[in-house]
Structure 1
Amino acid sequence: MKDEFSFISKITPRHTHQSSLKVAIGDDAAVYSGTDLFDEVICVDTMVEGIHFRKDTLTPYQIGKKALAVNLSDLAAMGAVPHYYLVSIAIPKSWSEEQLEAVYHGMKDLADQFKVDLIGGDTVSIQESLVITVTVIGRVEKNRSLLRSSAEVGDNVFVTGYVGGSAAGLSLLLEKGNEASYFDHEQELIKAHQEPVPQVRAGRIFAQSNERISLNDVSDGLASEANEIAEASQVTLLLYEEKLPLHPAMSANELDQQLDAALYGGEDFQLIGTASKETFPLIQAECKRQGISLHLIGEVIDNQPAVYLKKENEKILLSKKGYNHFSK
């Protein structure tokens, strides 16, 4: 198999049956008509031991918390409010009941924070690695879901929070392990990897602005997510190196390492998007009022699908080189 993206493209239905379906495969979540006032939003993600997490880099509690967080982040990228979640888990003999309870405890603590209810799931046995599949259901105001396909030439490109911290934290954990002693700035990076915070509040600010905003969550790195917006909207994004909000705890690293972590590391679970030059200062001001940082990092410059990084006097084409499950 070449890669997961081409495979998904092959299996995507050319026609749909339900007239209530508004957004199908191709965005962070699916959207279908619910009530007269709201649309329903649903997403699903699977985490596999040895691929998405390891016991020597995450505790069972953190694994559970992260399994739910990645789904909440997808709903945040649609501007939705999460309401319910379901968990299917395949359990190998190497996991104890106490460890599994910690996984669910992690999910519950994050669910309580966002007032999300567990409403079902499935539990099965498996030979080797733990597999967790989480489905989250939420809603957004009628016709206000935020799509990757809404970017236009002339837009500002923005991102919430800091980027690169999660990848830098994972590098430390892989090098030294979870039980090692770390400096304060290293602990910040490790926390960014182990306990990401889904940007649900920021997504709600964008949705409630009633403005045209494109949005995507940073799961595979800025370069990959920017390319998804570029492809969906058929536009060119130009990112400015000096404006990227690199995680300050990475400052001891070489700049190239910091950029690689931000552009290709992934799992920061911030939100990248575009808004018109008139809209951006309005949503930035509201984010600031609510204690959320929103950074201007570039602009939309053309009607061809591509992403470039402006580095001094050079424009570098950024490939869609995020995490690919089937790359060799």
Structure 2
Amino acid sequence: MHNPALPLEGTDTYNDRIRIVLVETSHSGNIGAVARAMKNMGLGNLWLVNPKSFPDEASYARAAGASDVLDRAQVVGSLEEAIDDCVLVMGTSARGRKVPWPVMPPPEAAETASQASAGGSVALVFGRESNGLSNDELQHCHHHIHIPSNPEYSSLNLAMAVQVMCYELRMLYLRNLEGGEGSPYLKPMSAPGDAGWDVSPASVRDVEGFFGHLEQMLVDVEFHRRENPRQLMTRLRRLFQRARLDQMEVNILRGILTAAQKAAGKAPNQRQSTDGESSATGQEEGHV
């Protein structure tokens, strides 16, 4: 009926104490999309309250590798059954109820749910695609979760709403991992020296050798005059320093400069070759 499920990330993130509860879902494909959203973020405890159609081919097709979440989904006849053993229930809702209810945005809701899950099961409840949760259903919730979407177009697809909450729970999980295990997932990688970058940062000596070579090449092609420099090299320095070059990038750039000098009939002088002897190695023939 469906393709085999992809392997789980691990039991530590397959958090069964936080259950996603869908109430009277109309389109079974949305159930599959929710399963995929959950598994993307390491969750797998899905409860379905009186779905119009489940299981069926559409739900498994939309799950795309998260069929195990659907296989173990609990189908019940009422919201009361889905939340009976929970210590905390949180329902998604728009603001504007006649009687105000405790409401929080997704990050705070994830924090609250995570803390409460230490004492038992927590339910995050999502309503129907057409009109969400009823007032009676919302009154079964300790807190309401409000996703601050664009007020001029605030309706979220069911799976998108679930993804928002699962993402916040995932980020919280990674931040709380002991020993910095979650750090590689959270830290940006944008420049040489960052964890995961493939080449070491260029040294000051290598970069200065490149700047000397660049200036000479610009002179050789009659683009730059040392006797009337204006701000050309200052601005080029600012440009390349902003880029934070790595060693391979310096090699490539110096190879390009050498090729340009040869094309202009200007062989690199001895000073340039000495300044960049190690950096330019292998670049004059255009190899990276």
Q: TM-score, with normalisation over the residues of structure 1? A: 0.25
Q: Which of the two has greater helix per residue?
A: 2
Q: Which of the two has greater strand per residue?
A: 1
Q: TM-score, with normalisation over the residues of structure 2? A: 0.27
